[in-house]
Amino acid sequence: MTRLSSELISGMNGTIAAYDIELVQKTGLTLRQIAARTAGISEEILCEAFRSERVAVVPVTAGQGVIEGFTQAVGGIIEHLGCPCFITANSDASGLAEGIEKGATIVFLADDIRFIAINLSQKRVIDNAVATGWSFAYALDACAGGLQGRDVLLIGAGQVGGNSLCALDRLGAKVGVFDIDRPKAQLLANKFKMKLEENLSDALDRYTLLFDASPAPDIICREHIKPETIISACGIPIGLSDEARTLVEDRLIHDPLQLGTAAMLAMAVRHGLSDKSGGRIGWIA
């Protein structure tokens, strides 16, 4: 996964309520509602399911180690959604054991490569790359008033961008894809039968709905922003220049952790509901 910095998540728990208000202003939906839509269940069913769940967030010291404030931020997002959560006192294998011994039904943990949620009863793993791609697509759909039949430019054909295409396709968007790695973009274009964009600047002049899944900074500039431009940007760092961001701030969906984490929880809970109901509820990738 893209490695966050402590600066990006510092103080997140103290601003999560304000973030949710801003999300409603932009999309008409709360963080929990977007997560529920991403998972293919209603908010009411999700809230009801939380009553039988308990989440453990496990610090992991492998690789470069724990990012300061990361487990607290993840735990804060989960608690904000209304699901019982605790951070284990121990890390790594000891922390995982502690979480299970204390009755966790879902475990969140991350190293330098993957950030995952595990539904223990279903033995299902939800990857942050999937949850982030899907949730930012659903947020763009809500902010734009629907994507059915509308042109969307996907910038970045990596894990998150590739996963977002499943959701964008399901939402009925007509997607054009650009990546500096042309063979990677070509693979996605072939798989989803969509347009391959050869020149980013030219594409940005033509599209007003943008999905930025690239880690490259300053690729979307002031001249690319129109009054009708709407951007869902999950890339870190964000791809907008400071001037471009100022022009589109009220039509920009961007956060370092909140949407992806919320969707991971909803997807993990969703898999448990399938088992309890004896069948599938809704639809999920």
Q: Which residue has the higher pLDDT, 3 or 5?
A: 5
Task: Domain 131-254: give its CATH code.
Answer: 3.40.50.720
Q: Give pLDDT, residue 12.
A: 84
Mean per-residue pLDDT, 30-38: 98
Helices (H), the chain: 6-9, 12-27, 31-39, 43-50, 70-81, 92-101, 128-144, 159-170, 182-192, 200-206, 242-248, 258-277
Q: How confident is the model at residue 3 (pLDDT cuts 50, 70, 90)?
A: low
* Cβ contact 56:105 at 8 Å: no
Using the predicted structure, report yes or no on whether residue 60 has a pLDDT greater than 50.
Answer: yes
Q: What tokens were used for 248?
A: 């589109």
* Cβ contact 214:192 at 8 Å: no
Q: How confident is the model at residue 283 (pLDDT cuts 50, 70, 90)?
A: very low
Q: What tokens were used for 266?
A: 């909803």
Report pLDDT digits (tens) over 78-127. 999 999 999 999 999 999 999 999 999 999 999 989 999 999 999 999 99
Q: Measure the CA–CA gap between 33 and 30, rounded to whole angstroms.
A: 5
CATH of the domain spanning 6-127+258-277, picked from 3.90.550.10, 3.40.50.11540, 3.40.50.12150, 3.40.50.300: 3.40.50.12150
Instruction: Spell out the domain ranges in the chain.
Output: 6-127+258-277, 131-254
Report pLDDT digits (tens) over 61-84. 987 777 888 999 999 999 999 999
6-127+258-277 shares its CATH topology with 131-254: yes
Q: Give pLDDT, residue 144.
A: 98
Q: Give pLDDT, residue 62.
A: 87
Q: Measure the CA–CA gap between 135 and 39, rounded to whole angstroms.
A: 9
Report pLDDT digits (tens) over 125-184. 999 999 999 999 999 999 999 999 999 999 999 999 999 999 999 999 999 999 999 999
Mean per-residue pLDDT, 11-19: 90
Q: What tokens were used for 83?
A: 């699901």
Mean per-residue pLDDT, 231-249: 96
